[in-house]
Structure 1
Amino acid sequence: MVDVDHFKSVNDRYGHLIGDEVLLLIARILRNTFRHDDRLYRFGGEEFVVLARAVDAAAAGSAFERLRCNVEGFPFPQVGRITVSVGYTSVREHDTPSDAFERADRAVYLAKAQGRNQVRGYETDVQTGEPEAHRGQGGDVELF
């Protein structure tokens, strides 16, 4: 899960048209950062979801760190510097979509709580002996 840091202030300061341009440019950065067969979705206002194959958490973390750096280094017209906070998790065998989203969202929350412009993995940075969430109680998640 990729969340654009301080996006509300972009809309407030520059207007929604510029905010929409920022989102389009971030979508382009996502497409240029990830492989052709990785799946990219816009999720909500300023969030994106990436479904990517990775051999392990370190490989996933490296891919998302590359994205973070690509966004941070991009010169957004009129706005300048934009950053993202990223949280990722592995999709487990019996996950519902909301199970995986909840874990990734918790990792994003940690990234934001620790200063934003960071990548955090649920399994490596968040999970510290927590019990498994109940299966089958998650709702549907709609991606577009």
Structure 2
Amino acid sequence: MILDINNLKQINDRYGHRSGDRLIITAAEYIKKSFGQQGKCYRIGGDEFLVICRSCSEEQTANAVAALQEQIKNETGEKGISLQIAAGYAVQRQEDTAESLFQRADNCMYENKEKMKRACR
């Protein structure tokens, strides 16, 4: 699973990097709370996270993502900054390499990010 905080650059530019850092910490806490029992959670970039779940079905993963989105729906942090996290996942197929699995999850996350941006317009 790949997760990415939406609009972090704009938040850093408008409110400063301390506010952006607090948003990253908040996101990490929600991600760990949502997925920590099912797998391992990693921060892999400035605002990107990776969750590796073993023995999770696609339905379980989709339900966990929906639960994360429900939890953060009403999260408004300092200065009225709302937390939005785009998420994408892929369930490993026999022919997958680590790279192809990551790429499918990443593509799914970017599709989700675009849907979220369109919904806000």
Please name the residue that 2:7 is paired with. Answer: 6
* C-alpha spacing 1:89/1:12, structure 2 compared with 1 (3 Å): same
Q: Is the 8 A contact 1:85 1:117 kept in 2?
A: no
**May I ask how many residue pairs the two structures share in their alignment?**
118
TM-score by length of 2: 0.84
**Which amino acid in 1 is paired with 2:20?**
G
* C-alpha spacing 1:29/1:116, structure 2 compared with 1 (3 Å): same
Where is the helix percentage greater, Structure 1 or Structure 2? 2
**Which amino acid in 2 is paired with 1:99?**
S
| Identical pairs, percent | 28
Q: Is the 8 A contact 1:71 1:82 kept in 2?
A: yes
TM-score by length of 1: 0.72
Runs of 4 or more, structure 1, over 6 Å off, are none
Q: CA deviation at 1:116?
A: 4.2
**Which amino acid in 1 is paired with 2:35?**
F
Cα distance in 1, alignment partners of residues 60 and 14 from structure 2: 37
Please name the residue that 2:102 is paired with. Answer: 101
The range that moved more, 20-29 or 49-58, is 49-58
**Which amino acid in 2 is paired with 1:24?**
I
CA RMSD of aligned residues (A): 2.2
Please name the residue that 1:42 is paired with. Answer: 43
Q: Is the 8 A contact 2:86 2:116 kept in 1?
A: no
* C-alpha spacing 1:114/1:91, structure 2 compared with 1 (3 Å): same
Cα distance in 1, alignment partners of residues 37 and 110 from structure 2: 28
Cα distance in 2, alignment partners of residues 66 and 91 from structure 1: 22
SS of 1:78's equivalent in the other structure is: helix
The range that moved more, 78-87 or 5-14, is 78-87
* Higher RCO (Cα < 8 Å, 6 or more apart): 2
